[in-house]
Amino acid sequence: MCAPCEMIVAGYYDTGTKHVTICENRLGNRRAALERTLTHELIHAYDDAFGLRGQKPPLVWTDCRQRACTEIRAAALSGDCSYSAEVARGHFSPINYHQSCVRRRAALSLSMQKECKGRKEADRCVDAVFDECFANHEPFD
């Protein structure tokens, strides 16, 4: 669905309705941002429908580690952390920029969830599952 959003996000996956919403008032007229956002949210939908590796669906959205895993995967696989996107955000680093971006963006997204109790807990959860989830490229394997 494409609709105006009050939240300051480009899009979101609603775990209750199983719908992806693209926030038309947050993207402007940028095709690349639309494609990244849609891919990011569809990865969440995929993880919800099929579960994470080694776990049966559905994803437990209140479990911060499972949520961290889907955020890591979405940031890593959607283009959120492309080199050009990182430079545009002012994060210029030729060394490990992709992994650093994925960690930062996953923790930021996770920290906004009430179940995950802020940035410190979000960082801890992301660190706990990072290697396994970063290596999971489904459904692109």
Residues noted as catalytic: 41
CA dist., res. 21 & res. 15, Å (int): 11
Residue ranges in the chain assigned as alpha helix (H): 24-27, 31-50, 64-77, 83-88, 97-111, 118-134
* Spatial distance between the Cα atoms of 134 and 114, rounded to a whole number of angstroms: 24
